[in-house]
A and B are shown apart, each in its own frame.
Chain A
């Protein structure tokens, strides 16, 4: 079963819809037993980092997420919460990726909203995805690039559009809103 982690973040419905469009059944839950037993776990989210972390900690989901062994995909805020620290609300995050999350400086319009190119693709998530494909982003904070970066984007500065470490995958863009290319990326994850 595919499990989408339910917490106090928006945009969960679109992820659920996208998974169902691909023909997979899924449940949206914060039940730790169901999450632990899932075949794949999606950790979505649009929202604010400190309140999201607070909620995860209260529900003991923070410890649960880092202990998972099956493939886990963080999306947008999900990716940021998988990092070490976020400037948003001065928040200590899950620390799966050894990376900091910073606010875009106001050198261009913020949020970074719309379709932008991803390059340097090196993950099974991007099987059959061409270099410089356009995907949909909406975010005001970005993850710094590191050795865990598996796709880059450049807006104001280069940042990690996707990351991978062991069984943990993450993307800053929204595959569930990125038309056919996004569907293929989600499908690649679901077929891992």
Chain B
């Protein structure tokens, strides 16, 4: 019996639609999030992540409404992120039915937020999302959708996040995101080896082999991707069947 490696489709949400950017810029439409979510759940995705990329105050209600609909429709766990700045923001999406919230820039700005949400709702529902970029000699943490560099070193910040109460790390390599050249194996493994909470790798998935490389060469617990799933390049069942053939611990039932 082994804990399975998770495959997580990510839906970037803008004004209630699924969108996808390349290297954090250049947005294109990828469909209705509820339809996509239901499709992925039916196909055997292990979990889903929804990131609201234009979370403004007037749009929050739209997001909460969407979370409620998703929670009614799908029978697998899902995380919601984007624009969560307070315990109240987290509470609104958790009460609407989200299993976890992910926080990113707001946690860098005010690290106590991690502890506050963990104490109120439990560590298991706090995902610390880290956008990272290799900068000359170091993997640095970036905030504000990748637009702003911080002095934080990535593995250090992941460890701080764990000690403050994060239950999981979602690590996105900006160097790899959108390239379809594969995950950033070095930093992913470095972070995964240095924390005792699960790590989700994100950014760069372009082939089934990239997921195999991720699970064979790093201690990541999950691989996240967006466009390869949205545009049908790699259907989730095909990816999982492939990984199972490579003897990677994966949840797979025939008949998806």
Residue ranges of A at the interface with B (Cβ–Cβ < 8 Å): 10-11, 13-14, 17-18, 20-21, 46-48, 106, 108-117, 119, 132, 134, 136, 138-140, 153-155, 174, 176-180, 182-183
Please give, as numbers and ranges, the residues of chain A lying within 8 Å of B241 by CB-CB distance. none
How far apart sit A18 and B71, CA to CA, in the bound complex (Å)?
Answer: 9
Interface residues of A: mostly helix, strand, loop or mixed? mixed
Shortest B46–chain A CB gap in Å is 6
Q: Decide if B4 touches A109 in the complex (CB within 8 Å).
A: no
**Complex: A8 Cα to B96 Cα, angstroms:** 16
**Chain B positions within 8 Å of A178 at CB level:** 75-76
Across the interface, name the chain A residue whose C-beta is closest to B255: A180
Residue B131 CB within 8 A of the other chain = no
Chain A residues, CB < 8 A from B41? 179
The interface residues of chain B lying within 8 Å CB-to-CB of A114 are 3-4, 6, 46, 198, 221-222
A110 touches B197 (CB 8 A): yes
Among A46, A109, A134, the residue within 8 A (CB) of B196 is A109
In-complex Cβ contact of A46 among B1, B72, B97, B124 (8 A): B124
Chain A nearest CB from B28 CB (Å) reads 30
Interface residues of B in 90-121 (CB under 8 A from A): 94-97, 99, 121
How many angstroms between the C-alpha atoms of A108 and B196 in the bound complex? Answer: 7
A174 to chain B, nearest CB (A): 8
Query: A113, B99: Cβ atoms under 8 Å?
Result: no
- With A113-B167, A177-B99 already in contact, the answer to whether A154 and B124 are too (CB < 8 A) is no
Q: A17-B72, A46-B125 are in contact. Are A117 and B1 (CB under 8 A)?
A: yes
Residues 63-100 of chain B, each 1 if its beta carbon lies under 8 Å from chain A, else 0: 00000000110011100000000000000001111010
B44 within 8 A of A: yes
| B4 contacts A10, C-beta separation under 8 Å | no
B4 to A113, Cβ gap below 8 A?
Answer: no
Are B4 and A134 touching (Cβ within 8 A)? yes
Chain B residues close to A by CB (< 8 Å): 1-4, 6, 41, 44, 46, 71-72, 75-77, 94-97, 99, 121-125, 167-168, 195-198, 221-222, 251, 253
Q: Closest A-chain residue to B68, C-beta based?
A: A13
Contacts of B123 in A (CB 8 A): 111, 140
B75 near A176: Cβ-Cβ < 8 Å = yes
Instruction: Report which of A14, A155, A182 forms a contact with B99, defined as CB distance below 8 A.
Output: A14
- From B197, which residue of chain A is reached at the shortest CB distance? A109
Query: In the bound complex, how far is the Cα of B6 from the Cα of A109, in angstroms?
Result: 14
The 10 closest A-B pairs by CB, nearest first: A154-B1, A134-B251, A115-B4, A115-B251, A117-B1, A138-B124, A13-B97, A177-B77, A116-B3, A111-B124
Q: For the complex, give the distance between the alpha carbons of A178 and B41 in Å.
A: 10
Query: Given A111-B197, A114-B221, A115-B4, is A10 in contact with B75 using a C-beta cutoff of 8 Å?
Result: no
Report if A115-B3 is in contact (Cβ < 8 Å); known contacts: A13-B95, A17-B72. Answer: yes
Instruction: Name the A residues within 8 Å of B44 (CB-CB).
Output: 179
Chain B residues with CB under 8 A of A179:
41, 44, 75-76
Q: Tell me whether A14 and B71 are in contact (CB under 8 A).
A: yes
- Highest count of chain A CB atoms <10 Å: which of B41, B77, B123, B198: B77
CA distance A21 to B71 in the complex (A): 11
The reply to whether B97 and A113 form a contact with Cβ atoms under 8 Å apart is no
* Interfacial chain B residues near A111, Cβ < 8 Å: 123-124, 167, 197-198
- In the assembled complex, which residues on chain A have CB atoms less than 8 Å from the CB atom of B72? 17, 20-21
Is the Cβ of A113 less than 8 Å from the Cβ of B168? yes
What are 30 A-B pairs at a CB distance below 8 A? A10-B121, A10-B122, A13-B95, A13-B97, A14-B97, A46-B122, A46-B124, A48-B122, A109-B196, A109-B198, A110-B196, A111-B167, A111-B197, A112-B3, A113-B168, A114-B198, A116-B1, A117-B1, A117-B2, A132-B1, A134-B251, A136-B76, A138-B77, A138-B99, A154-B1, A155-B1, A155-B3, A177-B77, A178-B76, A179-B76
Which residue in B1, B196, B198 is a CB contact (below 8 Å) of A153? Answer: B1
